[in-house]
Amino acid sequence: MNEELHAIAATAAQICSEWTPEAAARYSGGWADEVWDSLTKAEFTVLPVPESSGGAGAGLAEAAVVVHEIGRAAVPVPLTETALLAGWLLTAASRTVPTGPLTASAPTDMAVDRCAGGYRLTGKLSRVPYGHLAERVAVLLDRAEPLVAILDSPREAWERGRNLAGEPRDTLLLQDTFVPGEDVTEVDATISGRAFRVRGALGRALLLSGAMEAALDSTITYAGQREQFGRPISRFQAVSHHLAAMAEEAAASTTVAMSAATAGQQPDWILTAAAKAQAGRAAGVVARLAHQVHGALGFTDEHPLRLITTRLWSWRDEFGNERFWERQLGAAACAAPDLWTLVTDPAEVRANG
């Protein structure tokens, strides 16, 4: 990481520290609105959005660094949704991107009917992160000629849901819902459901790798303090090997996720697939070992470890679990002229797949 990225990471970490341990422990749904305000002031919520669309005009790498910090601090904010997904869709639709909070969805089976003055949509937006809290929802209608529809979030209409960490995952039923023509824009064919999934997966891989680092920090500290048989448990080789295994998985996950994000303005989909598969697999290992080392204490609601592990157990399944991405990679490997070409292809060749 260069100095500029380090500085962004440090600022992001500083902002995340506004989310106090007490607030985190009390959290039972909703979001960290004050942290969001600070992120907004720092322009972090629209980092990769071009200035012409109201963003900060930075690259994907800058955004990735911030997302990683959010994951490490386990702050409930729709940052990946706003910065990586909605911001991207709105830019593609030549819209100015509001500061948010925004969220996004790419339903696979939405019926779209043209009507006087606009469109009528029928279908479901399932388990949308922070749905009822977002001001706008960017909906990608993935068709031969893809459309982006921008809905004012009908706050009361969402069916509230949550993930294992209590973060909102809300569902919205659209029943012949009218969307005025000016809020629906035809976009370039590269704005596909698949590209949406790649960006979502990249966001989750970054969050996961940040959270794994946090799990590791907590576990190292605990293993150095907890004594059994007259010595810190970190002195038992079985325990120190657990710490090493966690460190390896976390470092590998961060490295590949960051690599996928620093390939250019679009994520490198091959590396993103690898990153999400790696992070998904590692999340289970890291959560298991973190709990194993923390003993019964870490299994309680009073211990902050749960704030990390319930997120690891949730995020890994979003935007395709490791099996999904392994399949994608397997198919790409079989379709490539040969495996080594696929591994060494420059990122530009494979952006978006």
Partner 1 sequence: MSSRVLPIDVVRVPPGLEPLRAEVRTFLDSEIRRGAFTPQCDSWLTGWDEPFSRRLAEHGWIGMTIPRRYGGQGRTVLDRQVVLEELLAVGAPVAAHWIADRQTAPSLLRYGSEQQRAEFLPEIAAGRCYFAIGMSEPDSGSDLASVRTRAVRVAGGWRLTGTKVWTSGAHRAQWFFVLARSAPDTGDRHAGLSQFIVNLRAEGVTVRPIRLLTGEHEFNEVQLDGVFVPDRYVLGEIGSGWGQVTSELGYERSGPERLLTTFPLLAALVSEVRRRADRDPAAVAEIGALTSRLLTLRQLSLSVAGMLAAGKPADVAAALVKDLGTRFEQEVAERARMLADEMPDPDAAPGTFTSHLVRGLLHSPGYTLRGGTNEVLRGVVAKALERA
Ligand X SMILES: Cc1cc2nc3c(=O)[nH]c(=O)nc-3n(C[C@H](O)[C@H](O)[C@H](O)COP(=O)(O)OP(=O)(O)OC[C@H]3O[C@@H](n4cnc5c(N)ncnc54)[C@H](O)[C@@H]3O)c2cc1C
Q: Residues in the site for partner 1, rule: CB under 8 A?
A: 127, 161-164, 169, 227-230, 236, 238-239, 284, 288, 291-292, 295-296, 298-303, 305-306, 309-310, 313-314, 317-318, 321-324
Instruction: Give the nearest distance from C-beta 77 to partner 1 in angstroms.
Output: 20
**Nearer CB in complex with ligand X: 115/297:** 297
Instruction: Give the nearest distance from C-beta 8 to partner 1 in angstroms.
Output: 31
Tell me which of ligand X, partner 1, none is bound by residue 302, counting a contact when its beta carbon lies within the kind-specific cut-off of 5 to 8 angstroms: partner 1
Of residues 182, 229, 334, 337, which one binds ligand X by CB under 6 A?
A: 229
Does 335 contact ligand X by CB under 6 A?
A: no
Q: Under 8 Å CB-to-CB from 73, ≥6 apart: which residues?
A: 13, 16, 17, 19, 210, 214
Q: Can you tell me whether residue 89 is helix, strand or coil? A: helix
Q: How far apart (Å, rounded) are the C-alpha atoms in residues 18 and 123?
A: 39
Does 301 contact ligand X by CB under 6 A?
A: no
Q: How far apart (Å, rounded) are the C-alpha atoms in residues 274 and 38?
A: 32
Which residue carries 């993935």 as its tokens? 142
**Nearer CB in complex with ligand X: 47/216:** 216
Does 300 contact ligand X by CB under 6 A?
A: no
Does 90 contact ligand X by CB under 6 A?
A: no
299, 222 in Cβ contact below 8 A?
no
Number of residues that bind ligand X (CB under 6 A): 12
Q: Which residues pair with 178 in a beta bridge?
A: 120
Instruction: Give the nearest distance from C-beta 41 to partner 1 in angstroms.
Output: 33
Name the residue number minimizing CB distance to ligand X: 295
Does 240 contact ligand X by CB under 6 A?
A: no
Determine the interface stretch with ligand X among 22-30, 269-277, 294-302, 334-342 (rule: CB under 6 A): 294-302
Of residues 295, 327, 339, 348, which one binds ligand X by CB under 6 A?
A: 295
Tell me which of partner 1, ligand X, none is bound by residue 324, counting a contact when its beta carbon lies within the kind-specific cut-off of 5 to 8 angstroms: partner 1
Q: What is the dihedral of CA 268, 284, 331, 328, to 10 degrees?
A: -50
Tell me which of ligand X, partner 1, none is bound by residue 298, counting a contact when its beta carbon lies within the kind-specific cut-off of 5 to 8 angstroms: partner 1
Of residues 228, 255, 265, 300, which one binds ligand X by CB under 6 A?
A: 228
Q: Which residues pair with 179 in a beta bridge?
A: 119
**Nearer CB in complex with ligand X: 40/292:** 292
Residue 13, CA distances (Å) to 70, 75, 250, 303 in order: 8, 11, 18, 21
Residue 268, CA distances (Å) to 4, 46, 194, 256 in order: 22, 20, 13, 11
Burial of 304 (0-12, 13-18, 19+ CB in 10 A): middle
**Nearer CB in complex with partner 1: 53/103:** 103
Burial 165-176 (b: 16+ CB within 10 A, else e): bbbbbbbbebee
Instruction: Give the nearest distance from C-beta 322 to partner 1 in angstroms.
Output: 7
Does 233 contact ligand X by CB under 6 A?
A: yes
Instruction: Give the nearest distance from C-beta 109 to partner 1 in angstroms.
Output: 16
- Residue ranges in 198-227 that form contacts with ligand X under rule CB under 6 A: 226
Instruction: Give the nearest distance from C-beta 301 to partner 1 in angstroms.
Output: 4
Q: What is the dihedral of CA 7, 8, 9, 12, to 10 degrees?
A: 120
Kindly report the number of other CB atoms within 10 A of residue 295's CB atom. 12
Q: How far apart (Å, rounded) are the C-alpha atoms in residues 220 and 230?
A: 18
Residues that bind ligand X (CB under 6 A): 226, 228-229, 233, 236, 238-239, 292-293, 295-296, 299
